[in-house]
Amino acid sequence: MTEIQSPDHARDPQMLAGGYSLRPAALDELDIILRLRIAQNQADYQMDGVTASDLQNSWQVPAFHIGLDHWLVCAPDGQIVAYGEVRGDGSGKEFDVIFAIDPALWQDAESGQSVALGLLERIDGRAGQLAGGQAYHLSSRLSTRNVDGVRLIEQYGFTRSLTFHIMEAELNQPPAAPILPTGVAIRDFIPDQDDQAVYRADEESAEDKGYHQPLSYEDWCKRMGRHTKLFDPGLWFLAFADGELAGAALNFYDDGRKTAWVDHLGVRRAFRKRGIGLALLTHAINVFFQRGYPLVRLSVDSHSLTHAPRLYERAGFRTVLGYHIYGK
């Protein structure tokens, strides 16, 4: 198990079966929480997936309450073995469930289930408090590799809604040049000129995603990291068909993980089945290769209504991991 001792805080511990105890987490336990989150991500996705600054930033949003919206579980010997968190969107209706459990804990199925259930019950209860007695919805993302977590959350009443593939392509040799359909041109995004048009096109192209929730322009900017250090206009590519914006490939590079991500790739309905999506994707891959990026990844709905996984396979991507979206 994770051999980390918690600072000496008396914080309303709740006793669980097997001598485990659950208590609120604190700001000064960031390193403990980070190590648990990374251990879970490594087991689930073979990457760290979170940094100290990621956690600090996520705890600074108004909808999150330090010491009230997250918890740690201690083993009988004092080791920290699990972390849980509830994250609201500020509406009081929608909450994300996050938990990280030391993989070694599942070697004893009874202990693992006791700890996980204790966290889920506390998370659910806190969400109910924040909802103020109104109906609310819990969501959680679990790796397809996390068999114990999947079994547990289904027992708790969560229902699977979607499954996503994480696909990747290694750029160890020059990729094929993009083939532009007749009348189609691709250029880089121009900040403060293209924002509104790309927002509208991206939202339109996403309408065929069964899970898409329409975003305001401001929320779209936040979702796409438009005003963060990850935004690079040289990695946002726009396709024009006969002068009209037909689609876009909105990408970013994660320098810490040395991975390029195809974040959004979409073509407006009126311009589909002309090869524009493949041209955008191939153009992006060529730019990634020219910049010396070794790996490209993306996440795609396994049952995409536009059959997106087939497009990515044609471009040389392969499925390496997956995750489920659950709701309750």
pLDDT attached to residue 5: 38
Question: Which fold, 166-327?
Answer: Aminopeptidase (3.40.630)
CB count within 10 Å of CB 104 equals: 13
Locate CATH 3.40.630.30 in the chain: 14-157, 166-327
> For residues 225 and 243, is the Cβ–Cβ distance under 8 A?
no
Provide the pLDDT confidence category of residue 4 given band limits of 50, 70 and 90: very low
Burial zone of 210 (CB within 10 Å; 0-12 exposed, 13-18 middle, 19+ buried): exposed
3-state DSSP assignment of residue 167: strand
For residue 79, what is the DSSP state?
B
The CATH class of 14-157 is alpha beta
- Taking residues 161-189, what's their average pLDDT? 95
For residue 64, pLDDT beyond 70: yes
Alpha helices for the chain (secondary structure H): 30-45, 52-59, 109-131, 147-155, 195-205, 217-223, 276-291, 308-314
- Taking residues 50-65, what's their average pLDDT? 92
For residue 3, pLDDT beyond 50: no
E strand or H helix that includes residue 72: strand 70-74
List the structure tokens of 222.
């936040």
pLDDT attached to residue 10: 41
- Taking residues 90-97, what's their average pLDDT? 94
CA separation for the pair 301, 211 (Å, rounded) = 9
Q: What percent of the chain has pLDDT over 90?
A: 79
Provide the pLDDT confidence category of residue 286 given band limits of 50, 70 and 90: very high
90/21: higher pLDDT: 21
Strand 295-301 with 259-267, pairing = parallel
Compute CA distances 321 → 14, 42, 153, 219, whole Å: 35, 12, 20, 28
- Taking residues 46-75, what's their average pLDDT? 92
> pLDDT digits over 215-232, tens only?
999 999 999 999 999 999
> pLDDT digits over 131-163, tens only?
999 999 999 999 999 999 999 999 999 999 999
Q: What is the pTM of this model?
A: 0.79
Name the one residue in this structure whose structure tokens are 């290769």.
289
pLDDT attached to residue 12: 65
List the structure tokens of 183.
């009348």
CB-side neighbour CA atoms (13 Å) of 74: 21
pLDDT attached to residue 159: 96
Q: What is the pLDDT of the chain when averaged over all its residues?
A: 91
